[in-house]
Amino acid sequence: MAEAKILLVEDDAALREALVDTLLLAQYECVDVESAEAAILALKGQDFDMVISDVQMEGIGGLGLVNYLQQHNAQTPILLMTAFATIDNAVSAIKLGAVDYLAKPFAPEVLLNQVSRYLKPKLIEDQPVVADERSLALLALAQKVAQSDASVMIMGPSGSGKEVLARYIHQHSQRAGEPFVAINCAAIPENMLEATLFGYEKGAFTGAYQACPGKFEQAQGGTLLLDEISEMDLGLQAKLLRVLQEREVERLGGRKTIKLDVRVLATSNRDLKAMATKGDFREDLYYRINVFPLTWPALHQRPADILPLARHLVLRHTKAAGLAVAPSLDEQASRRLLGHRWPGNVRELDNVVQRALILQTGEFITAKDIVTDTQDVILEPIGESEKANEPEGLGDELKAQEHVIILETLNQCNGSRKQVAEKLGISARTLRYKMARMRDMGIQIPA
Ligand SMILES: Nc1ncnc2c1ncn2[C@@H]1O[C@H](COP(=O)(O)OP(=O)(O)OP(=O)(O)O)[C@@H](O)[C@H]1O
């Protein structure tokens, strides 16, 4: 799926870091360089949807870069920034082909307003929403695996997002333009699963009034997801193994074999290896499908995902209901979400969000609107004694200390993200995510 990718050119390192933060938080992908020359090299190696560049830099500078773009990438919009906001500069930049001009200093919203005129934010609708380091690593791995044609076994507890990850792999694979077909092996009656998977000819069984292609054929050229594969009976597992080995399928009651070009993904929330050891799942099928295993941790093991996911789900349901404005989560509601253990994972969070949208009034979702699957009463706002019992009590305190350390170091380093990351011994990317989460919690971060 296309993502908006921006090339940022700025020779002031601290400002560059701050601008990258602003763009990343607004869901844009961003590559940053410190000169127009480096920008030209980057433009030769990859495609960008937009360039944002300083004007006054050593070398050919921003105006030289506008010239280059006009000659080589005329369709890529370039937005310029300069500390010397003279009307002359603005006029010459626009004459040369820049789409617009920002006078420094400017607020992050001003930049984002300008950018959004030329680009749509990254599509998040079908994409997994993640912020926790563990989930980010999983997604990066999934993206790599997507490039190959290997079978992937996606594991994780119920409702953790296995199907979302399967779609993500398909969308990032060479097969993205071809069909993605999912079949839930647990939801289809045992006696129908074989016909549904492999298809059948007219008259193959009572009720087969006309021929019907199976899911394998429907996924031709694309990806087939065998959801909850652990629920398939052993007899059918043997037939599935044969289809995967031979790469061809024969419809029930048919004589013709049909060559297949299908990538197979499977999911399970049970321990398939243990099932195979006990003889409840075919070991040979297990090894054929488990070429690359990917596992979602339970939601409570990736707490940084909870609030971004909740916001995403609020937006999704508000949009589906045709409402123009989505309510925000207030601090107490956020604390309650972070304090819950989420046995039902993201699906439970989805239910909780839907309930909250029914219960809430006004601009905010408050703690009393948060009713988890194990509750049947509307709660009072969290009191001090209750807070002490929350599993995340200690976590919150540590987090608060971390926030103070980050803010103090930012002050000491005059806002230079690079120096802060070095001083704290974390990567610039980790720092960005930590700051993003702090902003999400309403903490003001100096520019
Ligand atoms: N990372 C995510 N980003 C956005 N939505 C998510 C994410 N993870 C899960 N969801 C949403 O949560 C719900 C459950 O996800 P999904 O069906 O992928 O889980 P699952 O692990 O396949 O569940 P099951 O084990 O019951 O088959 C869906 O509505 C899905 O859109």
pLDDT of residue 387: 40
Q: How far is the CA of 128 from the centre of ligand 1 (A)?
A: 9
Task: Specify the domain boundaries for CATH 1.10.10 within the chain.
Answer: 393-440
Per-residue CA distances from 410 to 416, 435, 444, 446 (Å): 7, 11, 12, 8
Residue 317 CB partners (closer than 8 Å, separation 6+): 353, 354, 357
By most ligand atoms within 8 Å of CB, the mutation choice from 124, 154, 164 for ligand 1 is 164
Task: Specify the domain boundaries for CATH 1.10.8.60 within the chain.
Answer: 300-389
CB under 6 Å to ligand 1: residues? Answer: 128-130, 156, 158-164, 227, 267, 269, 309, 312, 346-347, 350
Q: Which atom of ligand 1 is nearest to the CA of 156?
A: 21
- Strands in 100-103's sheet, in edge-to-edge order, are 29-33, 5-9, 50-54, 78-82, 100-103
By most ligand atoms within 8 Å of CB, the mutation choice from 123, 129, 139, 163 for ligand 1 is 163
Identify whether the C-beta of residue 210 lies closer than 8 Å to the C-beta of residue 202. Answer: yes
Q: Which of 307, 289, 291 is nearest to 299 (CA)?
A: 307
Parallel, antiparallel or unpaired: strands 248-250 and 257-259? antiparallel
Q: How many CA atoms lie within 13 A of 378 on its CB side?
A: 9
pLDDT beyond 60 at 202: yes
Work out the average pLDDT over 37-63. 92
Identify whether the C-beta of residue 93 lies closer than 8 Å to the C-beta of residue 55. Answer: yes
Work out the average pLDDT over 69-97. 81
Q: How far is the CA of 186 from the centre of ligand 1 (A)?
A: 16
Q: From CA 444, how far away is CA 439, in angstroms rounded?
A: 6
Q: Which atom of ligand 1 is nearest to the CA of 158?
A: 25
The ipTM of this complex is 0.98
Span 300-389 CATH architecture = Orthogonal Bundle (1.10)
* CATH class for the domain made up of 393-440: mainly alpha
Count Cβ atoms within 10 A of the Cβ of residue 36 and give its class: 0-12 exposed, 13-18 middle, 19 or more buried.
Answer: buried
Q: How far is the CA of 249 from the centre of ligand 1 (A)?
A: 30
Name the token pair of 283: 């070991």
pLDDT beyond 60 at 378: no
Backbone angles phi, psi at 100, to 5 degrees: -165, -175
pLDDT beyond 50 at 393: no
Which CATH number among 3.40.50.300, 3.50.50.60, 1.10.40.30, 3.20.20.140 corresponds to the domain 133-297?
A: 3.40.50.300
Name the token pair of 285: 């099928």
Q: From CA 138, how far away is CA 145, in angstroms rounded?
A: 10
Q: From CA 229, how far away is CA 162, in angstroms rounded?
A: 12
Please report, to the nearest 10 degrees, the dihedral formed by the alpha carbons of residues 253, 259, 262, 268 taken in order.
40
Length of the chain, please? Answer: 447
| Residue with CA closest to ligand 1 atom 13 | 347
Task: Specify the domain boundaries for CATH 3.40.50.300 within the chain.
Answer: 133-297
pLDDT beyond 50 at 383: no
Q: From CA 118, how far away is CA 53, in angstroms rounded?
A: 15
Residue 405 pLDDT grade (very low, low, confident, very high; cuts 50, 70, 90):
confident
Q: Which atom of ligand 1 is nearest to the CA of 296?
A: 21
Q: How far is the CA of 349 from the centre of ligand 1 (A)?
A: 10
Q: How far is the CA of 257 from the centre of ligand 1 (A)?
A: 35
Q: At what angle do helices 36-45 and 61-72 cross, to 10 degrees?
A: 20
pLDDT beyond 90 at 442: no
Identify whether the C-beta of residue 216 lies closer than 8 Å to the C-beta of residue 242. Answer: no
Work out the average pLDDT over 390-410. 66
pLDDT beyond 50 at 384: no
Work out the average pLDDT over 125-151. 92
Which CATH number among 1.10.3720.10, 3.40.50.2300, 3.40.250.10, 3.40.50.2020 corresponds to the domain 5-118?
A: 3.40.50.2300
pTM greater than 0.80 (yes/no): no
Q: How far is the CA of 137 from the centre of ligand 1 (A)?
A: 18
Task: Specify the domain boundaries for CATH 3.40.50.2300 within the chain.
Answer: 5-118
Q: How far is the CA of 336 from the centre of ligand 1 (A)?
A: 21
pLDDT of residue 389: 39
